[in-house]
Amino acid sequence: MSIFEDKKTKNTPVSELGEFGLIDYLTKPFKNNNKNTIKGVGDDAAVIELSKDQYRLLSTDMLVEGVHFDLSYTPLKHLGYKAVSVNVSDICAMNGKASQITFSIAVSNRFSIEALEELYSGIKLACENYKIDLVGGDTTSSTSGLVISVSVLGEVEKQKISYRNGAKINDLVVVTGDLGAAYLGLQILKREKEIFLSNPGVQPDLHGNDYALQRQLKTEARSNFVKVLDDLNIVPTSMIDISDGLTSEILHLSKHSDVGITIYEDKLPIDYTTMNLAKDLNLNPIFCALNGGEDYELLFTISQSHYEKLKKDVDFTIIGHVTDKKEGNNFITKDSTSHPITAQGWDPLISS
Amino acid sequence: MSIFEDKKTKNTPVSELGEFGLIDYLTKPFKNNNKNTIKGVGDDAAVIELSKDQYRLLSTDMLVEGVHFDLSYTPLKHLGYKAVSVNVSDICAMNGKASQITFSIAVSNRFSIEALEELYSGIKLACENYKIDLVGGDTTSSTSGLVISVSVLGEVEKQKISYRNGAKINDLVVVTGDLGAAYLGLQILKREKEIFLSNPGVQPDLHGNDYALQRQLKTEARSNFVKVLDDLNIVPTSMIDISDGLTSEILHLSKHSDVGITIYEDKLPIDYTTMNLAKDLNLNPIFCALNGGEDYELLFTISQSHYEKLKKDVDFTIIGHVTDKKEGNNFITKDSTSHPITAQGWDPLISS
């Protein structure tokens, strides 16, 4: 409803472009006016000239109740921690160090001061862990749910910045930590919510699933691994954080770098508790590792010359290599068959 | 509803603290970890060390449908423009120059690609006018209305930064442009919405109210006045932008600077069209100028030594002076009586 005359324009649904297509489409007409803007939209963070040797990094993320989180199983303290972590993770993905954040919230009047204190206690804990400063924000009313918007500033030495677009043919593809657990943690929480809804007297049975639940609820940015890479004198040729799932991020790196990427099923780092839990839940652990998302591990490529330095470190797993673009993006299963990686991810239940 | 055991905490409504009290309360426990953080929460923008001579500025604002804007009378292009302007205004209020923004939106599926293009055309126009770059953002789903979150980066020479806390006794209090029109523009739009709702066939009658409507819909940041001050070699001793209304901002400056401020009714800059429109709408123009808000003019204090430089410029109006804190904040009406300025603003219908 508008009091102004209807312009009779077309009404194309946003779903026709998808999130990344939409951002590309909407921001394409923009030109930069400042010579200190090095990189705008299109990577994990914007890059701005800071000094002769350093870049300033800036990134922002929005978290919407009912879309990104469900307060029936997300404690507010964990939510505050996570909102900071996912932003710090974007700075890590540029091989940088986060330094300041702003934290804005729109809240309806169903939130009490005590509830917001819980949220802020999580923010504070994250600020202490990542050694960053809360320097601003906005607090406003919301007509419905809770909306969080965080912006983060960081820094990186110019020589050490890792964009998405630097992967070279024959580079090794590396992932930190392990994959799939955050997704399984979410499945447990959803299951317990269903049980609770049909019988509110029952307390949730979360026993024995600590690791998966922690991975889902207490999201950590991998700033420690950025430091390890620095100590090892390794600058990734390209890097991204795994928010939407490994296959989705593989596609981003290969597209931006104009290369192909091949990864191997038998190399995927999956924790044994993840393996067991997936079995309990009748899910394929490989599917969870490839498409689960929210692990916030780092995915990056390095020159083969760094192989010796990384191979001994259990926190880093070489899962594949970079190929010529014409080979495409491929997932090699244990039986040595090759499956193309598509935007829909790779679903072993469908394709094998 | 939470699947976790109820902690039986208190439930104090947020309204008990108010917006500014709430931010103070929630952010009080935070300590800074980075030595380059010069100023965090509590001014128009955060201040971060940039170089020997310069500071980096960072500010953020959230705009929520149904709280900050009503899409039934706010064209999306104007909304995009305004969302950028109010952020740039925060940088102006530090006597700085904006350089980059991020623009995040949460939208429900009732928004088409064409609608978002309208929004972004306003953002683009603002970026061109203010010579700033769009360098990032987040686009996500919303379960209900439109939520916009903008962050802005800026710069200022260290010698020229204006905080809220530098006003000195005997300084002059200056305001740019004129006041009250944006509030009246909003009243016109609300009136036409009511008429439209009771009779959707009637086109809105906005004729003759161009100035007030433009002030409400096409919000401008006063970056031009920051430049004029620079050309005149004037650095305000304190500064803030007028988003919530003149009296509210007077209270911020006096509180942060630990002084009193006295302003005069007969000095308030009010456009003659604002005077006439207020009369038509049966509103007191002084009330609109004092409490209306959304004018986004700059309110600042300067040393008396700059008086000669500013007195000839019609864009700057000296409306009062800074006093000792013990004199409080006062509004002197035309009949020379003094009225204390309170947090509720000054309502001539009540107090006179």
Query: How many CA atoms, within 13 angstroms, populate the side-chain half-sphere of residue A237?
Result: 23
CA-to-CA distance for A80 and A94, rounded, in angstroms? 23
Query: How many CA atoms, within 13 angstroms, populate the side-chain half-sphere of residue B126?
Result: 33
Which residue do the tokens 């491929």 mark?
Answer: A330
**CA angle, A47 as apex, A42 and A51 as ends, to 5°?**
165
**For an interface test with B, which of A8, A26, A104, A107 has the most B Cβ atoms less than 10 Å from its Cβ?**
A26
Q: Does the distance separating the beta carbons of B106 and A64 come in below 8 Å?
A: yes
For the segment B175-204, the average pLDDT, to the nearest whole number, is 90
Looking at residue B22, its pLDDT comes to 86
Chain centroid, CA B351 distance in Å: 25
Question: Is residue B228 predicted with pLDDT exceeding 70?
Answer: yes
Q: Does the distance separating the beta carbons of A68 and B128 come in below 8 Å?
A: no
Looking at residue B342, its pLDDT comes to 82
CA-to-CA distance for B319 and A96, rounded, in angstroms? 48
Q: Does the distance separating the beta carbons of A66 and B143 come in below 8 Å?
A: yes
CA-to-CA distance for B232 and A33, rounded, in angstroms? 26
Residues B78 and B110 grouped into a single domain? yes
CA proximity to B228, closest of B148, B143, B313: B313
ipTM score of complex: 0.91
Q: What is the pLDDT of residues A134-167, one digit of tens each?
A: 999 999 999 878 999 999 999 999 999 999 999 9
Would you place residue A349 in the very low, low, confident or very high pLDDT band (cuts 50, 70, 90)?
Answer: very low
- Sheet of B260-264: strands edge to edge? B238-241, B298-302, B172-176, B316-323, B260-264, B330-332, B338-340
CA-to-CA distance for A150 and B95, rounded, in angstroms? 25
Q: What is the pLDDT of residues A42-53, one digit of tens each?
A: 899 999 999 999
Looking at residue A352, its pLDDT comes to 32
Q: What is the pLDDT of residues A51-72, one digit of tens each?
A: 999 999 999 999 999 999 999 9
Instruction: Give residues with Cβ within 8 angstroms of A31, minimum separation 6.
Output: none
Residue B302's domain comprises 172-351
Residues A57 and A151 grouped into a single domain? yes
Would you place residue B352 in the very low, low, confident or very high pLDDT band (cuts 50, 70, 90)?
Answer: very low
For the segment B144-157, the average pLDDT, to the nearest whole number, is 95
- The answer to the question of residue B23 being in a domain is no
Residues A182 and A82 grouped into a single domain? no
> How far does the CA of residue A95 sit from the closest CA of chain B (Å)?
18
Question: Is residue B345 predicted with pLDDT exceeding 80?
Answer: no
- The answer to the question of residue B143 being in a domain is yes
Residues B123 and B182 grouped into a single domain? no
Q: What is the largest CA-CA distance in chain B?
A: 68
Residues B54 and B127 grouped into a single domain? yes
Alpha helices in A165-242 (DSSP H): 181-198, 210-217, 223-231
Percent of chain B whose pLDDT exceeds 70: 95
Task: Please report the residues numbered 103 through 132 in chain A whose beta carbons come closer than 8 angstroms to any beta carbon of chain B.
Answer: 104-107, 109, 111-117, 120, 124, 127-128, 131-132
For the segment A309-337, the average pLDDT, to the nearest whole number, is 95
For the record, the structure tokens of B101 come out as 């923004």
Residues A216 and A292 grouped into a single domain? yes
Looking at residue B24, its pLDDT comes to 87
For the segment A1-25, the average pLDDT, to the nearest whole number, is 75
If you ran DSSP here, which 8-state letter would residue B34 be given?
Answer: -
Residues B191 and B309 grouped into a single domain? yes
For the segment B199-223, the average pLDDT, to the nearest whole number, is 88
Looking at residue A351, its pLDDT comes to 37
Residues B155 and B182 grouped into a single domain? no
For the segment A330-334, the average pLDDT, to the nearest whole number, is 96
Q: Does the distance separating the beta carbons of A99 and B34 come in below 8 Å?
A: yes
Q: Does the distance separating the beta carbons of A51 and B113 come in below 8 Å?
A: no
Residues A184 and A141 grouped into a single domain? no
- The answer to the question of residue B7 being in a domain is no
Q: How many CB pairs under 8 A join A and B?
A: 289
pTM of the model: 0.93
Question: Is residue A348 predicted with pLDDT exceeding 50?
Answer: no
Residues A77 and A136 grouped into a single domain? yes
Question: Is residue B349 predicted with pLDDT exceeding 50?
Answer: no
- The answer to the question of residue A1 being in a domain is no
Looking at residue A23, its pLDDT comes to 86
> How far does the CA of residue B58 sit from the closest CA of chain A (Å)?
8
- The answer to the question of residue B10 being in a domain is no
| Candidate from A17-31, A220-234, A335-349, B106-120 with smallest mean pLDDT | A335-349
DSSP assignment string, A95-153: T-EEEEEEEEEEE-TTSBHHHHHHHHHHHHHHHHHHT-EEEE--EEE-SSS-EEEEEEE
For the segment B5-10, the average pLDDT, to the nearest whole number, is 63
Start-to-end CA span in chain A (Å): 49
For the segment B195-204, the average pLDDT, to the nearest whole number, is 80
Question: Is residue A260 predicted with pLDDT exceeding 50?
Answer: yes
Q: Does the distance separating the beta carbons of B16 and A113 come in below 8 Å?
A: yes
B332: helix, strand or coil: strand
How many domains does chain B contain in total? 2
| Candidate from A171-175, B84-88, B174-178, B192-196 with smallest mean pLDDT | B192-196
The residue among B160, B194, B218 that closes a domain is B160
Q: Does the distance separating the beta carbons of A104 and B26 come in below 8 Å?
A: no
For the segment A163-177, the average pLDDT, to the nearest whole number, is 98
For the segment B268-280, the average pLDDT, to the nearest whole number, is 96
Candidate from B29, B64, B196 with C-beta closest to A142: B64
Contact A38, A55 (CB under 8 A): yes
Contact A64, B140 (CB under 8 A): yes
CA-to-CA distance for B252 and B233, rounded, in angstroms? 25
Contact B291, B346 (CB under 8 A): yes
Q: What is the pLDDT of residues B301-313, one digit of tens each?
A: 999 999 999 988 9
Would you place residue A323 in the very low, low, confident or very high pLDDT band (cuts 50, 70, 90)?
Answer: very high
Residue of A nearest to B118 (CA): A26
Percent of chain A whose pLDDT exceeds 70: 95
Residues B129 and B228 grouped into a single domain? no
The residue among A133, A160, A187 that closes a domain is A160
Instruction: Give residues with Cβ within 8 angstroms of B159, minimum separation 6.
Output: B53, B235
Contact B316, B257 (CB under 8 A): no
Q: What is the domain-level CATH number for residue B182? A: 3.90.650.10
Chain centroid, CA B77 distance in Å: 20
- The answer to the question of residue B166 being in a domain is no
Q: Which residue has the higher pLDDT, B273 or B345?
A: B273
Residues A108 and A49 grouped into a single domain? yes
Average pLDDT, chain A: 92
Question: Is residue A254 predicted with pLDDT exceeding 60?
Answer: yes
- The answer to the question of residue B212 being in a domain is yes
Q: What is the pLDDT of residues A76-116, one digit of tens each?
A: 999 999 999 999 999 999 999 999 999 999 998 889 999 99
Establish if A24 touches chain B: CB-CB under 8 angstroms: no
Question: Is residue B178 predicted with pLDDT exceeding 50?
Answer: yes
Question: Is residue B167 predicted with pLDDT exceeding 50?
Answer: yes
Residue of A nearest to B23 (CA): A139
Q: What is the domain-level CATH number for residue A66? A: 3.30.1330.10
Question: Is residue B285 predicted with pLDDT exceeding 90?
Answer: yes
- The answer to the question of residue B32 being in a domain is no
For the segment B225-233, the average pLDDT, to the nearest whole number, is 97
Looking at residue A2, its pLDDT comes to 72
The residue among B109, B136, B160 that closes a domain is B160
Candidate from B36, B109, B203 with C-beta closest to A99: B36
Average pLDDT, chain B: 92
Quick one: how many helices (H) and strands (E) in chain A? 11, 14
- Which helix (H) or strand (E) segment is B87 a member of? helix B76-92
- Helices B272-280 and B181-198: angle between axes, nearest 10 degrees: 40
Instruction: Give residues with Cβ within 8 angstroms of B20, minimum separation 6.
Output: none
CA proximity to A295, closest of A232, A239, A230, A218: A218
Question: Is residue B8 predicted with pLDDT exceeding 70?
Answer: no
Looking at residue A24, its pLDDT comes to 87
